[in-house]
A and B are shown apart, each in its own frame.
Chain A
Amino acid sequence: MIVELGHFALILAFAVALVQATLPLYGAARRDSRLMALAEPAALMQLVLIAAAFGALTYAFVVSDFSLRLVTLNSHTDKPMLYKVSGVWGNHEGSLLLWVLALALFGACAVWFGGNLPATLKARVLAVQGMIGAAFLAFMLFTSNPFLRLAIPPMNGDDLNPLLQDPGLAFHPPFLYLGYVGLSMSFSFAVAALIEGRIDAAWARWVRPWTLAAWIFLTIGIALGSWWAYYELGWGGFWFWDPVENASFMPWLIAAALLHSAIVVEKRESLKAWTILLAIIAFGFSLTGTFIVRSGVITSVHSFANDPERGVFILMILAFFMGGALTLFAFRAGSLEAKGLFSTISRESALLANNVLLAVAAFVVFIGTIWPLVAEMLWARKLSVGEPFFNAAFTPFMVLLAIILPVGAMMPWKRAEIGRALRPLRGALALALALGLLVYALQSGKSALGPVGAGLGAWVVLGALTDLWNRAGRGGIADRIARIGRMGRADWGKATAHSGLGVTLFAVAAMHAWSQEDIEVVPVGGSFHIGGYDILLNAVDQVQGPNYVSTTAEMVVSRAGDPVVTLYPEKRMYPVQAMPTTEAAIDYRFTRDLYLVIGDPQEGGGYAVRAYIKPFANWIWGGALLMALGGMLSLSDRRYRLAAGARRAPAAQPAE
């Protein structure tokens, strides 16, 4: 009964979305305030209905209702409760439901926090949100209905893919979806503004928090996924340039560009058309990501059930929204004339350079991802594009970005001089160069990667600190520190997020440059050495888990006779899916991780064992967390809180 109610709520949500997508739009064109006002209750209603459907599906998973096809395919009575719940979105249909739930949540947030939006803009924004909702609800109901029953329910289910039974992965998809869907909000604002034919500083101030929120969610989601890959897959990699990883990375890059260009619109009323275009493209990449994951056009591990019918449906959604928005853009872009002019050397230009670099980087990722498809269609060539290509083709743009970042961040608006902007950064530059040289002298190998990464990372972090220090004005140290303490959260956010980027850049370079690896056959009771550590394989036991059997090794790590840590790497076998997983044991330290994996027993006796030393591994995700934290600080800045509270801001308010 509860399941049927959920199914019904979903169908009703589709009907409401259709109303929300059409009537307010018509009302806005006719200046009919009653029709426009319809958007708000419709958006809230959608949230209630989709939340009810989601609740019903969750209930079915929690009580293991195997009469539901989806539950049978993805759950099992022995599964721990956390994974019964996360199993709701560990599959194609359920994850779509989570997707539309996030969409409805953002729509409702636009109602709750959009009190100061002009009525027509608000109605149009919500109508575009309604269109996206209607498209995806139709997609669910017609091709991927999560509420289908089985005529003859089995006694037990097929279990969730064991690789997905992990806390890191349980929370990775919800964050990613909040990010993807958050970009739909920027898209809706862009389309609504194109229909209105008016973009100004106030518009940028409304759209930036949504982009920022989406970007924060994407940052956390990507970091969680990468961390999961690192500890779960058993070879210590953290990023593989898999098509689906790329699908989440492209919107992240474009969202980063968008939230910088929105600053220019907000402060200087320039780059308007470009910002609108970025908002459209960012959501376009979100949809492309959905297409890649769910169509099976590009092979990837992440792909859910690959059904061409679904692929075609998503392609139609993509074509409708991108085609429509870009056509609208072509007609209206000419009228979005910039007000604030700026010289070639200025903060505006620096932000434009940031945008060009981020957009080109996203484009490189895009072309690398679809290249196998293009080559097969045009020249019937089967080829691959993988990690080595992306490392070589993508990295230069990030290096350029890191070089210009501290200088651009300190430039004044309108007109600047490079020499003057560099002056306060001389200390940071000298320190960063010295650090790079020091690292080069210390390291044993010849690779330039380590020194360059260390130098660049230091340059970006020190540059961010210099920027804060410089903003504190003149005066004694105590005065300056007091003033830094009173600075707006946006300033703090900027410094934190930029430092985070520096930390991650350094850590990625360090991981590539200085990882150590050892593969050995070790008998029980035997030991081996890696990077100054002695590792003793003390025992190997069979252990019964809740829904798996584990081969657990006890490995005692010591250094020069002093015990360091005892680690227990596992190899698990999940009998229901007949699938093994490796559970690496990791000793996390500030400057390095020690990463141990137990393998198969060997014919001649003993076990195959893999050991890694991963330098500065935690810093990769630490940097990502700093970036997300910087975004949150910026999001909580006073001007957005004021904007949310104010009810009477006029529509077109000049920036300065």
Chain B
Amino acid sequence: MRALLVCLMLVATPAFAVQPDEMLADPGLEARARAISRDLRCPVCQGEAIDDSNAPISRDLRLKVRERLMEGDTDTEVIDYIVARYGEFVLFKPRASGSGLILWLAGPAMLLAGGALAFAMTRRKPRPEPDLTADEQTRLAELMKE
């Protein structure tokens, strides 16, 4: 799970991720900040969102997100701002463009293929019963004799 042992051990006094002093006074903006920071990955941890991480860099990122929101950025702009500086590694939800399309379309494509295959199966004509094997022939002959 995300209880990043490494991260936890790096920080001497772990508290929870989001500290009270970071939070914005405006509950609407704060809610947006939380939503954004749940989708951004802590760059030095093993799979924690910056919202859950105790690493100092996550705190910096959380503050940055809130700073941009205060300046009036939209959610997309904030995310673009962070991605421009830290790379697409920080996105927990890869973008559905370029090779990312493969990832997003893999499931629906499989469903279509599976559905078509299954449908074809129900339409199949019965094949004639296979002939008996040699063993079965002799066994049948024995039974008939009785």
* A residues whose Cβ falls under 8 Å from a Cβ of B: 161, 163, 225, 229, 232-235, 237, 240, 242-243, 245, 299-302, 337, 341-344, 346, 348-349, 352-353, 356-357, 359-361, 363-364, 367-368, 371, 375, 378-379, 381-389, 392-394, 397, 519-521, 578-580, 582, 597, 599-600, 602, 608, 610
Pick the contact of B16 from A302, A363, A387, A599 — CB < 8 Å? A599
With A341-B124, A384-B94 as known contacts, state yes or no: A375 contacts B99, CB within 8 Å: yes
> In the assembled complex, which residues on chain A have CB atoms less than 8 Å from the CB atom of B49?
386-387
Q: List 22 A-B contacts (CB under 8 A).
A: A234-B16, A243-B47, A299-B46, A301-B6, A302-B1, A343-B122, A344-B122, A352-B121, A352-B122, A356-B111, A356-B115, A359-B114, A371-B103, A384-B47, A386-B39, A389-B93, A519-B19, A519-B20, A519-B23, A602-B20, A608-B15, A608-B20
Choose the segment among B56-64, B66-74, B83-91 that binds chain A (4+ C-beta atoms closer than 8 Å): B83-91
Residue pair A349, B118 in contact (C-beta under 8 Å): yes
Residue pair A382, B87 in contact (C-beta under 8 Å): yes
Residue pair A608, B19 in contact (C-beta under 8 Å): yes
Residue pair B107, A364 in contact (C-beta under 8 Å): yes
Pick the contact of B14 from A232, A300, A346, A580 — CB < 8 Å? A580
Q: How far is the CA of A357 from the CA of B110 in the complex (A)?
A: 9
Question: Nearest chain-A residue to B5 (Cβ)?
Answer: A301
> In the assembled complex, which residues on chain A have CB atoms less than 8 Å from the CB atom of B92?
384-389
B101 within 8 A of A: no
With A337-B127, A392-B93, A610-B16 as known contacts, state yes or no: A163 contacts B107, CB within 8 Å: no
Pick the contact of A301 from B4, B17, B111, B114 — CB < 8 Å? B4
Q: How far is the CA of A360 from the CA of B119 in the complex (A)?
A: 16
- CB-defined interface of B134-146 with A at 8 Å, one 1/0 digit per residue? 0000000000000
Q: How far is the CA of A315 from the CA of B114 in the complex (A)?
A: 28
Q: How far is the CA of A580 from the CA of B19 in the complex (A)?
A: 18
> In the assembled complex, which residues on chain B have CB atoms less than 8 Å from the CB atom of A381?
88, 99
B25 within 8 A of A: no
B13 within 8 A of A: yes
Q: How far is the CA of A349 from the CA of B18 in the complex (A)?
A: 49
With A375-B99, A386-B49, A393-B107 as known contacts, state yes or no: A600 contacts B1, CB within 8 Å: no
> In the assembled complex, which residues on chain A have CB atoms less than 8 Å from the CB atom of B32?
none
Residue pair B111, A357 in contact (C-beta under 8 Å): yes
> In the assembled complex, which residues on chain A have CB atoms less than 8 Å from the CB atom of B8?
579-580
Q: How far is the CA of A513 from the CA of B114 in the complex (A)?
A: 32
Residues 1-41 (chain B) with a chain A CB within 8 angstroms = 1-6, 8-9, 13-21, 23, 38-39, 41
Q: How far is the CA of A518 from the CA of B4 in the complex (A)?
A: 23
Question: Nearest chain-A residue to B128 (Cβ)?
Answer: A337
Pick the contact of A383 from B88, B114, B121 — CB < 8 Å? B88
| 10 A-B pairs with least C-beta separation | A386-B92, A388-B93, A356-B114, A364-B107, A599-B15, A600-B15, A229-B1, A344-B122, A299-B46, A521-B20
With A242-B1, A360-B110 as known contacts, state yes or no: A578 contacts B89, CB within 8 Å: no
Q: Which of A299, A357, A389, A597 has the most CB of B within 10 A?
A: A389
Name the distance in Å between B76's Cβ and chain A's nearest Cβ.
14
> In the assembled complex, which residues on chain B have CB atoms less than 8 Å from the CB atom of A357?
111
Name the distance in Å between A555's Cβ and chain B's nearest Cβ.
16
Residue pair B16, A397 in contact (C-beta under 8 Å): no
